[in-house]
């Protein structure tokens, strides 16, 4: 018996359920003695008998479970191309971004594209909720296990309330000029594009 211990990269894991799925898939292989996956590190430590199992079989098992052992930006590039195409189509079909006047007679395709863009906010918010609930936390009772999700939602409500009050107070005192509004919108747009690029994994800082 030749026991070997390897750390393999396992991409696309997002929560503890993914860890369990990867572990169950690898443990089905003959010769695997122990396996521990970690989604935060995007890896799995596998202890196996080299005479009965191999790295190739383990990687195949991981792929069969729906995960990847090699980092690839192919899907990300496709997603970016879809977004760019959607922006172009939206501009061509609406002659601009005056949604109130342009979407009254819009086709279903244009409405679908607009829905994709407006859903980005929901994805960002629900993504935060999902991540907060999948955080690993040692707990002795049910309350402690729910603490990450509770803190996230509490912080979200408090921050929205404070920001809304500040913006409302500023808006009641003075109004911005058209140029100032345009500058703020351009700045916000650039910031969000950079944010999406970082979150999409195209650039790490």
Q: Higher model confidence: residue 203 or residue 109? A: 109
Quote the percentage of the chain above a pLDDT of 90.
14
Closest to 111 in 3D by CA, of 88, 93, 84, 85: 93
CA distances in angstroms from 39 to 25, 28, 138, listed in the order given: 15, 20, 16
CA 157, CA 164: separation in Å to the nearest integer? 10
Give residue-wise pLDDT tens across range 20-71: 889 999 999 998 999 999 988 889 999 998 888 889 999 999 999 889 888 7
Q: Higher model confidence: residue 184 or residue 199? A: 184
Give residue-wise pLDDT tens across range 77-107: 776 677 777 767 766 665 555 555 555 666 7
With vertex at residue 104, the alpha carbon angle to CA 185 and CA 84, rounded to the nearest 5 degrees, is 45
Residues facing 43 on adjacent strands: 9, 38
pLDDT at 198 over 70: no
Give the residue-averaged pLDDT of 116-122.
69
pLDDT at 195 over 90: no
CA distances in angstroms from 119 to 47, 124, 125, 192, 198, listed in the order given: 43, 9, 10, 14, 19
């Amino acid at each position: 018996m030749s026991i070997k211990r390897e750390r393999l990269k396992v991409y696309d894991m997002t929560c503890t359920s993914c860890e369990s799925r990867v572990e169950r898939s690898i443990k089905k292989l003959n010769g695997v003695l122990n396996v521990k996956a970690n989604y935060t590190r995007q890896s799995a430590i596998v202890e196996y008998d080299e005479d009965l199992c191999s790295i190739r079989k383990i990687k195949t098992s991981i792929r069969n479970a729906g995960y990847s052992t090699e980092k690839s930006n192919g899907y990300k590039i496709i997603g970016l191309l879809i977004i760019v195409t959607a922006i172009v189509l939206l501009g061509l079909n609406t002659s601009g971004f005056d949604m109130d006047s342009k979407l009254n007679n819009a086709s279903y395709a244009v409405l679908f594209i607009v829905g994709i863009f407006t859903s980005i906010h929901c994805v960002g918010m629900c993504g935060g909720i999902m991540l907060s609930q999948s955080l690993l936390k040692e707990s002795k009772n049910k309350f402690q296990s729910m603490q990450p999700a509770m803190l996230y939602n509490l912080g979200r409500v408090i921050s929205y309330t404070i920001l809304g009050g500040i913006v409302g107070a500023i808006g009641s005192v003075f109004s911005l000029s058209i140029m100032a509004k345009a500058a703020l919108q351009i700045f916000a747009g650039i910031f969000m594009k950079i944010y999406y690029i970082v979150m999409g994994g195209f650039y790490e800082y």
